[in-house]
Amino acid sequence: MKLTAFLGSPRKGGNTDILAERVLDGAREAGLDVESVALRSLKLRGCIGCEQCWKTDNRPCAIADDMIPLYDAIAQSDVLLFATPVYWYAPTAIMKAFMDRLVPLNRPQGRPLIDGKRAILVTAYEEEGPAAAEPLVRMFELSFDYLGLEFTDRLVADGLGPKAAVLNRPDALAHARQIGLSLGSGDSTLNT
């Protein structure tokens, strides 16, 4: 089984990256093949709404940038991890651009590449309490449902302003590792 993580934080080594890496550590321990894609290091343009992805069978997207190989990475994965800090009650700009570019996977030719895959959300943010993350979590719930993904786990970690502050939160680190470990057993830690 393969897990691919899409890291949407512009801050390398920040709280979101650390939590996602702990999920990957647990997944490795559970025997999964893991890959991590730092979106911040790619050249990704936003969707331009041209709908070429719906008009052709040979290209998933008309925009020739670093997104094109990510369609193959998604197709070859069983589990997709989306990691983003909360920026203004939403994902980061790079994560939103990535999500918008998933439109080709909803076309008839793209559905078999994504349907039924498992999805995990990891998010961290500075504010205390769940309210600041609720719009972001809801956006991902709706997006995963739209794409036919099974939303199996989430980690929403609040109160994490300074870079690497999560290293002082053993509860969040343990939860992240447990999410990864659970992938080997097929269990979910998601409590909805």
pLDDT digits (tens, 9 = 90+) for 86-97: 999 899 999 999
Q: Which residues contact 155 (CB under 8 A, 6 or more apart)?
A: 19, 23, 120, 121, 122, 123, 172, 175, 176, 179
pLDDT digits (tens, 9 = 90+) for 11-20: 999 999 999 9
**Locus of tokens 């002082």:** 168
| Domains by residue range for the chain, with CATH | 2-185 (3.40.50.360)
> Mean pLDDT across the stretch 118-136?
95
Supply 35's token pair: 């890959």
- Model confidence at 185, pLDDT cuts 50, 70, 90, reads confident
Average pLDDT across the chain, whole number: 92
Question: Residue 133 and residue 31: Cα distance in Å, rounded?
Answer: 31
Closest Cα to residue 181, out of 171, 189, 169, 172?
189
* pLDDT at residue 91, rounded to an integer: 98
